[in-house]
Structure 1
Amino acid sequence: MDSPSSTEEVHEALKDNASRPYGPARSARAEQLVEQAAQTGDRPMLIHALQALITAYEYDGSSDRMLVPFARVLKMWDERPEDFDEYSAHSLHWHFKWVSAGLIWQPNVPLATIGRWLDEMERRYRLAGHNSQAVHACRHYVAVHVGDTAVAATHFDRWITAERDDMADCEACERHNRGDWLTTQGQDEEAVRIWQAVTDGHLTCAEEPHRVLARTLLPLLRLGRAEEARANHLRGYRMVRGNPALRASVAEHLEFAALTGNEARALEILAEHAGWLTLAAGEPVRYRLFFLEAVVVLLRRLVALGQGDLEVPTPRADRPTTTVAALLPAVEAEVDGIVATFDERNGTAAVSGRSSTRRAQEPLLAELPLGLRGTPGGAVPVIKKTEPEPEAPDDADALIAEATRLAEAHDPRAAEVWERVAASGADLPPPVRARIAESRVMAKAVADPAGTVEDFRTVAREFALAGDAGRDAVNRARAGLGALIDGDEPPPGTDPATVLAEVTALPEATDAVLWTVRFCHVQALFLDWLRGPEARNPDSPAKAGLDRLLATLLAAAADRPYEKGSVLHISAQLTLSAGDPEPAPDLLAGAAEAFVAAGVPHRAAESLQLLAEVTMRGGDPAAAEAHLDRALTVGGDRLDAESRGRLAALRAEIYVMLGGRDTEAVSTALSAAHLLDDVDPPVAARARMVAVFAFRRTGRPAEAVALLESMLPDVDRRGDEHEIVHVRQVYGECLADIGEFRTAAEELIAAARMTADRREHASLVHAAANALDGAGMSDDAGRTFERAAEVWREVGDRDAEVRAIRGHAWTLVQREEPDWPGALEMLEAAAVPDSGYEYFETLRQAAHLVLNWPPDERPEKLAARAVDLADAAADGFFGLDEPGSATQSMFTAAMLEERLGRSGDARTRLTALLGRHTAAGREDLADSVADFLERL
């Protein structure tokens, strides 16, 4: 980059640098410009350059470096105050406050020096006509820092009761700092109340609500308001991520995750900021201290979980990782060293005491599902919570008997007992070893039945060698069914029909063996029907054969409740697949009761879950919720995490359908995602999308964005085209909702390129054009609207095409050189006469365009013509029973008439409109017309 030499060039360079984002690059450039400004001999310019450098240091996390340039500016003020314009004089006193408050975090500055500095600040403020409000705030911060609670309280009271003037911090920052003090005094409720105007977005600044959202996390948890804390984490972390000036806030998010059972999330945050573990040149010690304290909280928590050997990312050593056990003492030692310097300077143990208390925190919640999808591919280690060891068995024989009993009762707890048999150390006979292998494959088959074909064949051979022909046959039938599920031919000797014939002729085959093989055969026939030439045809011979077979099995299972429940359940699935949902509820209710009678509540819960889904799809979400309640009651503690996750996912959908329960939907959906991430990622992703919908419907798009960002890598990795496009579309829409228009457009365009569906492509391109328009990129938006119109024309959607043309027209008047005639011509060309909504909306927008046309550039008589367009639009909207749109058209016409000097006509028109709305009982519209009349 060429160095500016003239005063004008330095001035332009300062303006250019002021438009850059804060960070090391901006600060480095500001340092260069200070020297170049000094070389010009222009003292006012040098003052501006120095003050720009001070601001850059404050916001790039290097605030400890601002004292030197500030001292230089202060000296220039004392020498020649006439060199300072109003802005730079104000900045001088404003920066005085920054420097004074920051001195307490420079341990090499004695307290006496800080006291004199504050006295000088008070004197200069008085001379400049400012009050002492900001001075009391700074004195309060110093007293808090050294642990003088009485003095801190005194200055706090003076601070909040003093009149605010133009040296007061912005109200958002003031509320942040006041809330900080209240939390130290145990007044979490009052602090959260003070912060609410900031967290709600009513008070904002460059660093708020970023910092307050982080600051609320632990107080909200202490108040039992975990849902709000989770929301603030989801919304707030992406605001502070990677920002060196907001290290303390990043640390608070890391700390929150570590104290809510989300150690993996905390590790992700640490991995993203591992560079901060190494001391950077010019890094303020307070930011380093606050960050390292939070890291200690996490590392201590991992050690407590028995994860001292866990590898964590860090640039501290030659390797990119080190163990928790190795990193913890190094970080602790650095924290201890930092706080010792403050204690020595302050003559109190306040800083070390606060640090020790923070580092010693215990979890505030055992588990708070955040709903965030962990990084795929193992970028962050998996945290395994230590489970209590089972009690030692009396003997292996007792365990074998218990495992056999549970397995024969179809109790899923059998798997755990078989594992205890395996771990018993006993010399196990071949049949027992085969049962253990079978149990493991069955557990694997729940998530991946097609992937266990060879495993079942291996188990079958083990049973054959052990002399158990029945279980050999069962596992061969299971292998064949797995192959069919995967769309393959069953391997030799595993076709369920062949195995059934073999078992039927086997004299020693037990009822349980016969039943299992028969059921594998039924499932195979079901698959054949679903995939065959008459797929899902309820009148096909294959369907009739299945019905007969199931009726026979049901009759044979009359006094065997488990088998009865299984037949009723698959019968319900058959009727649903045939497009006949009417019998399904009774079949599923019967299945649930049979499973309860059989003592297998987890299977009863499965039937009740499907019953709830059928009922929900049938339009009765309240009844569906009752079925889910019954499923949870019946299943009780026999439900595993996957079953509870599926029930929660369905319940979240029901809450959304019921309406008014979106908060519950979010919480339930995120819990479901947490439970299902490792066992059923597609259902977990669907649950997150339910939460995203609920977030958006309740006006919380920032939280939706956080969820979507966490799930995108996983969806891209395993999703199909439709899912990837849908998720990216919603992500783009949510980004637009929070004002990140440019990124939104990029996502929407990327999604448009992925889809082969032309209508979907057109919709995504149109949405991208709207986002580009929101980003102020008028030329790009115009081209994209034009492309959207072309594709809409291609798919034959005239209304959508017109909407895209209107969007394009408006971009013409948002350019540096607006093209008003071109925009109007485009709108008029799109207004092909018909009786539809879009025709009248195009007329209304054409009239509105004329209304906004600069009068000195607008052709004569165009305003009168626009009144006619607005009238035609209003008449059309009233004919379509769209009184709101008609009212907007009438407002446009009235404003045009007023500019034509026909105020009386405008009032007459609006008075008539008021009477029309009043007579029709449209009170809201009548009120808006009355307000407009008053303003007119």
Structure 2
Amino acid sequence: MSIDDVAALMTQADELPYGEARTILVEDALRRAEAAGDDVLAFRVRARLTDAYQYGGEPAKAFATFSRTLAEHDRDPGRFDETHVLLWQMKAVVSSLTLFPEIPLDRTYALLDDMERRYLAGGHSLQAVYRRRHVVAQHVGDGAADNWYLKWRAAQRDELSDCEGCDPTGMVRHLARVGRHEEAFEIAAPVLSSELSCNEQPQSVLTAMLPVYLHTGRPEQAADAHRRAYRVHRGRLADLGDIAEHLQFCAITGNAARGLEIVQRHLGWLDRAPSPHSEMEFAAASALVLDRVAAAGHGGAAVRRPASDGRPAADVPLPELRAELAERATMLAARFDDRNGTSRQGDKVRATLAAEPLVEFLPLAAHHRRPVPAPSPAPPEDVTSVDDLDALLDIADRRRTHEDVDVTLAAWRRFDVLAESAEPTPLQNARRLDGRGVERALDGDEEGAIACWEETSRLFGELGDETRRHRALGRLGAMRAKRGDPRGLEEMTAAAEHFASHPTEDGDATGSLLRLAYAHVEGDRPADALAALDRVDPDDAPDRAGEMWFVRGRSLLLAGQTDDGVAALRRSVEAARASGGVKEAATPMLLLARVLARHEGAADEETLALLDEVIAALPAGSPMRAAAHSERGLALLAGDRPADAVADLAEAIAGWTAEGLHEQAVHLRVDLAAGYLSTGRFLEAAEAAEEALPALEGPSAPEDRRNRDAGRRCRLILAHAQKEMGEEDAAATFAALAEHAAEDGEHGAVAHFLDEAGEVLTGLDRDAQAAARFAAAAEAFEKAGDPYGVVRARRRAAMCLLWCGERDQAVPAMEAARAALASLPPDNEPARIWETALVSYDQGRLLAQIGRLPEAASHASAAVDGFSALDETGPAEEAARLRDEITSAMRE
């Protein structure tokens, strides 16, 4: 085993976030260091392993590594000199000891005393010691916690104090617990406005601020803090206790659905919780969320429990899981209280399980907001005093025509009550049966409606009432046509023919032809629809002119006659406005706006004016209003006005979701994500995209081209949003896009996405991984026939290899980049010179690093010449500085 092997493993580990993969590499490095017999190297690696365990979600393992490194240091401080590291780690170990009820408190207090002794001996401030004494006192419910807090705040900070984000975070938590929320806000304000680079920040301070924001009347900041912090916590097992705080936040802010998603995502972590304390907190908060879900009327739901410890995955009834988690939390709290000799942890669990909502509903994003309830309708016509059966049936028929469903149903209910004591006539019974068909249709019982109308038409026929018989036939035919029954068209045609030769004063001829035309439009038969409309007598039912022009417009559009269709829709809008105002005209206005937006490809003044009218005319909560917001948002987005579009798209999604029409909201979420991305709202873009992805790519997603393309677009938006936020997940998202593109044989797209992944990784100092991505991108560029991409990707791969310490691989990788220059097309001399100069510059840097100075100087000079030939002054000066540094080093 060589020391170089250990160094290589530690370099790889440094490129990974804390977690299982990083820990495995450090453990391997420790085994190799011990096998090599290098005690000092093993000591240093073991100290790093303590951090890996602590921050990777395995603090119990850190106790052993820390104890050994501390003992080795004490035995020979000169040889095992990591004093600062050990004193720093001691803080985390003290806090972690309290999280395991099987560890006696005496051990924690002994380590605290030892920590204070070592800090004093080293001449350090006791500020960090006071904080840990406060933590322990707070954990057991010791009243001395307040005094330790005062000492902690008063003591001078030094190099062993927690970072400028973590230290105030602890203070915020204390102040929030004792109800001093405004003071907590003041302490956190400067922290939140600064740049924090600690592994635990800013997510920890944002999580601590959740109750502070809620209690100080800052709900929007609370929602933002939840979204930003949970994004980081959700990928870290070590943060399970923090995730519990976000669950409780969801439960007390009316976001039980969001909380349920979080429970489902992390439920499997309970079996490998970092500590019994975090297990207890997560179980209690999860039980609270499930209680809220049940209170919202979803107690019959089931929660998917992932497989673990030989137990298969299974759907667990929500009440059963809630009871199990509450019992789990309560039992763990009892173990802590037995150890501590207080009721502190049990009190906390009981308070969590009984927590009441703090606000009815706090929207976490614009499109999560609940739409304003629709205004109450005007009081319906009172039919309770009507005792005449015919009068009630007439009221029902008249108000049904005006779509006044409440009055219609009330009249029929009143008829039914009176019919129990009065014997209706056969005609009255037939009319009431006709109404029952309407009731069945309103309830979605199409077969029941058909059965009623079949019998109704027969009864009217026996009674010789041909007008009512053919009205019933028209309704029956429309329902059958909707279900694909060919008899429907025959029945509607028969009704139309009857009323053409036997017109009524009620406009039945127009009504039957319009019904027939509608059926032809729905059946994709525009010529037949237009033929039916041509038979309409404009004098038969002038109040239905708007409807007639609307159906004509739809028919013409279906026939591909866009200009004529638009003209017909404009006439429909005018006629509907004249007869019923803007509300009556909303349907043709919405379709006209949609057609204009698609036809023009953007939002023109007429389109936006129409949609403005529709939105202003319809009540909140109306599905048509949601559709209008959707159209206006899409039109604005197409018109390159994303900042204006996002408000409408969010409103539309909120409307569709409130109505339970989730399918309509899915694709809009992708558009909303695009709008957020274009306006620099990267967090919102990522969250909207993540909400849409399961419905586009999940197991229940429709397998069609539209959904597939939307899924790819959604993932691309997510990747760029993650990249802009500096999230590590961006590299994986770009890699997934490359895999999708590879399935389609799109080599250019594969190369682009791999290149983006490399860009993200190198920006995060994950240079070994970046080098692999750039190398793969070069191969894809080659398959795509892009020689420039090949040169750039190979050059960047070489530099990443240099930065991660793989110098032996970096040299041939750069030589491969230079060889690829020969494939650049000769007809673009400036581009060829530019790429050659870049390769020369980077090759000069690389060779200088490994001591091949004469070659390095030659390449740097070539870079100067290339950049100068293109009049690129800045790059030429930079290359000249490199050349001069190399030649100066050669003279020394």
State the TM-score, normalized to the length of structure 2: 0.76
Per-residue deviation at 1:715? 1.9
Change (3 A) 1:548 1:659: same
Among 77, 80, 83, the residue aligned to 1:84: 80
Distance in 2, matches of 1:28 and 1:860, equals: 42
Match of 1:292 among 276, 283, 295: 283
Does residue 1:770 correspond to 2:729, yes or no?
Answer: no
Residue equivalent to 1:305: 296
Between 652-661 and 131-140, the greater mean CA deviation after superposition = 652-661
Q: Which amino acid aligns with 1:299?
A: L
The match for 1:99 among 93, 102, 122 is 93
**SS of alignment partner, residue 199 of structure 2:** coil
Q: Return the alpha-carbon distance in structure 1 between the equivalents of residues 574 and 202 of structure 2.
A: 54
C-alpha change, 1:95 and 1:223, in structure 2 (3 Å) is same
Q: Which residue of 1 aligns with 2:515?
A: 520
Q: Distance in 2 between matches of 1:412 and 1:785?
A: 67
Partner of 1:142: 136
Q: Does 2:619 correspond to 1:636? A: yes
Matched, 1:70 2:66: yes
Confirm or deny: 8 A CA contact 1:121 1:135 kept in the other structure.
Answer: yes
Residue 851 (structure 1) aligned with residue 848 (structure 2): no
3-state SS of 1:206 partner: coil
Residue 121 of structure 1 is matched in structure 2 by 115
Tell me the SS of whatever aligns to 2:680. coil
Q: CA deviation at 1:471?
A: 4.2
- Cα contact 1:431–1:466 (8 A) shared by 2: no
Aligned to 2:718: 734
How far residue 227 of structure 1 moved from its aligned partner, in angstroms, is: 5.0
How far has the Cα of 1:724 moved from its partner? 1.5
Q: What is the match of residue 867 of structure 2? A: 870
Aligned to 1:881: none
Q: 2 CA distance for matches of 1:107 and 1:27?
A: 25
Matched, 1:55 2:51: yes
Closer, same or farther: CA 843–700 of 1 in aligned 2, 3 Å = farther
Q: Secondary structure at the match of 2:303?
A: strand
**Aligned-pair CA distance for 1:689:** 1.5
Alignment of 1:451-490 (within 5 A): 460-467=453-460, 469-479=469-479, 482=482
Alpha-carbon separation, structure 1, partners of 2:508 and 2:704: 39
Quickly say closer, same or farther: Cα 1:777–1:312, change in 2 above 3 A. Answer: closer
Mapped contact 1:789–1:802 kept (Cα < 8 A): no
Which of 687, 705, 708 is the aligned partner of 1:724? 708
Give the 3-state SS of the residue equivalent to 1:312 in structure 2.
Answer: strand
What is the CA distance between 1:287 and its match in structure 2? 0.1
Q: Give, as a single letter, the amino acid of the residue that structure 2 aligns with 1:470.
A: H
Sort the Cα spacing of 1:49 and 1:631 in 2 relative to 1 into closer, same or farther, 3 A: same
Residue 308 and residue 98 in structure 1: after superposition, are their counterparts in 2 closer, same or farther (change >3 A)?
same
Give CA deviations for 1:778-799 in whole Å, capped at 9, x if unaligned.
45544544544654x6xxxxxx
Pairwise CA distance, 1:491: 0.9
What is the Cα deviation at residue 295 of structure 1?
Answer: 1.5
Per the TM alignment, residue 809 of structure 1 is displaced from its structure 2 partner at its CA by 5.5
Residue matched to 1:569:
550
**Residues 740 and 194 of structure 1: is their aligned pair in 2 closer, same or farther, counting only changes over 3 Å?**
farther
Aligned-pair distance for 1:867? 4.6
Match of 1:359 in 2: 353
For the 8 Å contact 1:172–1:198, the answer to whether it is kept is yes
8 A contact 2:513–2:536 mirrored in 1 = no
Letter in 2 for 1:54: T
The separation in 2 between residues aligned to 1:405 and 1:167, in whole angstroms, is 83
Q: Which residue of 2 aligns with 1:388?
A: none
Change (3 A) 1:239 1:341: same
Counterpart of 1:671?
Answer: 654
Look up the SS of the partner of 2:355 in the other structure: coil
2:233 to 230, 240, 264: 240
CA gap of 1:844–1:734, structure 2 versus 1, over 3 A, is farther
SS in 1 for 2:162: coil
Supply the AA of the counterpart residue of 1:851: Y
Look up the match of 2:764: none
Match in the other structure for 1:408: 401
- CA shift, 1:847, in A, is 2.7
Number of matched residues?
A: 820
Q: Which residue number corresponds to residue 579 of structure 1?
A: 562
Shift of 1:692: 0.8
> What SS does the corresponding residue of 2:57 show, helix, strand or coil?
coil
What amino acid maps onto 2:279 in structure 1?
R
| CA–CA separation in structure 1 for the residues paired with 2:676 and 2:312 | 44
- Indicate the residue corresponding to 1:685 in structure 2: 666
Pairs within 5 Å for 1:890-905: 890-898=873-881
Q: CA deviation at 1:214?
A: 4.3
Once the two structures are TM-superposed, the CA of residue 832 in structure 1 deviates from its matched residue by: 3.8
Asked if structure 1 preserves the Cα contact closer than 8 Å seen for 2:750 and 2:780, the reply is no
Unaligned runs of 5+ in 2: 369-379, 461-467, 762-768, 802-808, 886-892
Change (3 A) 1:433 1:627: same
Whichever residue aligns with residue 766 of structure 1, its letter is H
Alignment partner of 1:504 is 2:499: yes
Q: In structure 2, what is the equivalent of residue 274 of structure 1?
A: 267
Extract unaligned runs of 5+ from structure 1: 375-390, 446-451, 533-541, 794-799, 875-888, 903-936
For 1:320, which of 295, 314, 324 is the aligned residue? 314
Q: Separation in 2 of the partners of 1:809 and 1:111?
A: 58
Question: Structure 1 residue 734: deviation in Å?
Answer: 3.0
Alpha-carbon distance change, 766 to 519 in structure 1, aligned in 2, over 3 angstroms: same
Residue identity opposite 2:238 in structure 1: A
**Shift of residue 125, structure 1, vs aligned partner:** 1.0
Assess, with a 3 A threshold, how the Cα gap between structure 1 residues 729 and 808 changes in structure 2: closer, same or farther.
farther
Q: CA, structure 1 residues 851+329, in 2 after alignment: closer, same or farther (shift >3 Å)?
A: closer
RMSD: 5.1
Q: 1:72 to 1:587 in 2, by over 3 A?
A: same
CA drift at 1:721: 1.9
Aligned match of 2:246:
253
| Change in CA separation of 1:608 and 1:873 when aligned onto 2, cut-off 3 Å | farther
Alignment match, 1:492:
487
CA distance 1:8–1:155, change in 2 (3 Å):
same
Contact map agreement 1:752 1:765 (CA 8 A) in 2: no
Q: Shift of residue 286 of structure 1?
A: 1.7
8 A Cα contact 1:240 1:249, kept in partner: yes
Matches for 1:420-459 after TM superposition, within 5 Å: 432=432, 435-441=435-441
CA shift, 1:178, in A, is 3.3
2:284–2:349 CA contact under 8 A, matched in 1: yes
How much identity, in percent, do the aligned residues show? 25
CA shift digits 1:186-244 (9 cap, x unpaired): 45566567667877893133343444454455544555655555555555445333643
Residue deviations 1:246-273 (CA, integer Å, cap 9, x gap): 1123223333443444433332322333
Q: Deviations over 1:484-541 (max 9, x none)?
A: xxxx7x613525873454442685978365444311333355568x777xxxxxxxxx
Asked if 1 retains the 8 angstrom alpha-carbon contact of 2:630 and 2:668, the reply is yes
- Please say if residues 474 and 517 of structure 1, whose CA atoms lie closer than 8 Å, have aligned partners that are also in contact: yes
Identify the residue that residue 675 of structure 2 maps to in structure 1: 694
What amino acid does structure 2 have at the position aligned with 1:142? V
Say which of 737, 751, 754 aligns to 2:740: 751
Distance in 2 between residues matched to 1:767 and 1:686, nearest whole Å: 23
Mapped partners of 2:172, 2:450: distance in 1: 66
Preserved contact between residue 731 and residue 758 of structure 2 (Cα < 8 Å): yes
Give how far 1:891 is off: 0.9
Q: Which residue of the partner structure matches residue 178 of structure 1?
A: 171
Please report how far the alpha carbon of residue 564 of structure 1 lies from its aligned counterpart in structure 2 after TM superposition. 3.3
AA in 1 matched with 2:295: A
Q: Specify whether residues 579 and 332 from structure 1 end up closer, same or farther in structure 2 by C-alpha distance, changes over 3 A only.
A: same
* CA apart distance, 1:134: 1.1
Contact 1:293 1:359 in 2 (8 A): yes
Cα separation, 2, equivalents of 1:425 and 1:351: 66
Deviation at 1:892, TM superposition (A): 1.3
